[in-house]
Structure 1
């Protein structure tokens, strides 16, 4: 082959090699490398997924997730607030191995082992609203329930003139939030109101019908009953129903925890005298923000507890702008 032809072929080979290298990235590499941003997934396991409180919490969590580019999955039993109904939903979340789990534990002891399973699987857990007795969660976001119980005692004392018989209806012993509300309520009555006779707590197992029946029995057994403190939405619905059916609205004074639409309506109608309202939207919002901070490596400075505030809502202030955020919007 002539020398001129060899030279041309060699030149063509070098040029082709350069083109191939450039096409495959083997030439001068770009100074920056574009990589797909990870989409984080956070599960929120409600205490009871049909409750106005947790549905409002869901809104706050999803709003924070949207702002941060995080997928928030809301799950939980719609049937009842109990470990037996909640744990399968937590196990389901663990099986999907999300980046983090937010959970409102339905019992401060029974949920320790299931939450530990999540943590052992490498999933950070934040408790919201309620908490567990063992400090294994990253943090807890909740209302100050002892202070809420004290505020309920003050509101009920004011409504009844600081004297007379009062009772209380709660869910079950062993739930962190309602245990603390009961603690604060009893302590405040004892410390400040010597003329109030506290008849103690009855438990309704988060059953509205049972709460209603217990309230009827309480009124029948104590004809001079002046007031009742209901410690959550379901017990409150039962108490309100029984007092209304007995024709004693306004006569038996009611103070209730939480501010779902039925509670607010009864407050405006004068059946309920005061509500101790939490801020579930803020609990969900802050829970997701803290989970995102933790899973993206910004862990320094995260505290073991964050409070989100509460408000005593009355007929006089229910329509004020300052109270609006405390009213639940399921």
Structure 2
């Protein structure tokens, strides 16, 4: 009798072990350990630019509020001209099987082929901040929605406000962004249109490639060559700060009016202090969020119509900034 009990106990133990092993295997529905959540990559320009670090913060805060819905991978490049690195980031995100790429391209043309490859790999792509070139998109036979502001209208608003502080026939200079960037082209066009309507003379415009130090050097040269210049219009706030430093170096601080675009915190303080006249706020902390929201919609409904989304851009002056 004791032998039978011993044999039965061994059999029960063996059965329990089999069930335990089977149960552990059946509960592991994701043996690779990969999260079932969506993975969205945010690829920006230079994180050394406060505008893009603010954009990253806004996106990360949004992800934290929606942590059960998606994971966020944030990438940036060392400076605005490092286009090859941004292309590489797109390729890396394709290889890591992200569900979507939300990108602020450093170049409106060069990024399109890589983004076409992403779409062919099944990745949803949303373009923010700097619009991709329409002709190149057509050549590559790809549709990518743009989520962002009307840069020309924003720049014209800033330029018109500046013109109200000048008189007919006054001279100004313009600091452009990267010339292959659509947003840089549009901001230049907006500034020029505002000056033309106000009959203000644009005596020079050069690209400082969005960078403060380069803007300082170029603006110093402009002020030396054109001492009659009454104002400098900068296509972003980093360049506006460079222009302020140039005016100070030329002994014309407070005399040469400066405007920018982006509404970074350093410029907000400069506007309060009267060192910069105005800027445009394209709500950088929300711009990537708008793009992520659009990407989530396209993932949920792959057959949804691909449409652009225009986001706000507002004039910022000393009067509009709260004390």
Q: What CA RMSD, in Å, does the superposition of the two structures yield over aligned residues? A: 2.5
Give the match for residue 49 of structure 2.
Answer: 51
Task: State the distance in 2 between where 1:248 and 1:201 align.
Answer: 19
1:1-330 equivalences under 5 Å are 38-68=36-66, 69-133=69-133, 134=137, 136-190=142-196, 192-194=197-199, 196-297=200-301, 299-303=303-307, 305-319=308-322
**Compared CA separation, residues 66 and 298, structure 1 to 2 (3 A):** farther
Give the match for residue 4 of structure 2.
Answer: none
SS at match of 2:301: coil
- TM normalised by structure 1 equals 0.80
Give the match for residue 29 of structure 1.
Answer: none
Task: State the distance in 1 between where 2:257 and 2:169 align.
Answer: 12
Report which of the two structures shows the higher radius of gyration computed on alpha carbons.
1
Task: State the distance in 1 between where 2:287 and 2:63 align.
Answer: 13
**Compared CA separation, residues 263 and 220, structure 1 to 2 (3 A):** same
Task: State the distance in 1 between where 2:178 and 2:288 align.
Answer: 24
With 129-138 and 171-180 compared, the bigger mean Cα shift is at 129-138
Q: Check the 8 A contact 1:124/1:137 in 2, yes or no.
A: no
Q: Check the 8 A contact 2:236/2:260 in 1, yes or no.
A: yes
Instruction: Structure 1: state its 5+ residue gaps.
Output: 1-15, 25-34, 321-330
Task: State the distance in 1 between where 2:129 and 2:312 align.
Answer: 12
With 221-230 and 80-89 compared, the bigger mean Cα shift is at 80-89
Task: State the distance in 2 between where 1:89 and 1:236 align.
Answer: 29
Tell me the number of residue pairs that the alignment of Structure 1 and Structure 2 aligns.
290
- TM normalised by structure 2 equals 0.82
Per-residue CA shift, 1:2-30, capped at 9, x if unaligned?
xxxxxxxxxxxxxx9xxx9xx99xxxxxx
Instruction: Structure 2: state its 5+ residue gaps.
Output: 1-11, 21-28
Deviation at 1:62, TM superposition (A): 2.4
**Compared CA separation, residues 66 and 213, structure 1 to 2 (3 A):** same
Deviation at 1:57, TM superposition (A): 1.7
**Compared CA separation, residues 62 and 207, structure 1 to 2 (3 A):** closer
Task: State the distance in 1 between where 2:61 and 2:145 align.
Answer: 20
Deviation at 1:60, TM superposition (A): 2.6
Q: Check the 8 A contact 2:163/2:194 in 1, yes or no.
A: no
SS at match of 2:122: coil
Per-residue CA shift, 1:204-247, capped at 9, x if unaligned?
23332221111111111111110110001332221121112223
Give the match for residue 323 of structure 1.
Answer: none
SS at match of 1:92: helix
Per-residue CA shift, 1:25-76, capped at 9, x if unaligned?
xxxxxxxxxx899300100000112222112222332233333321111101
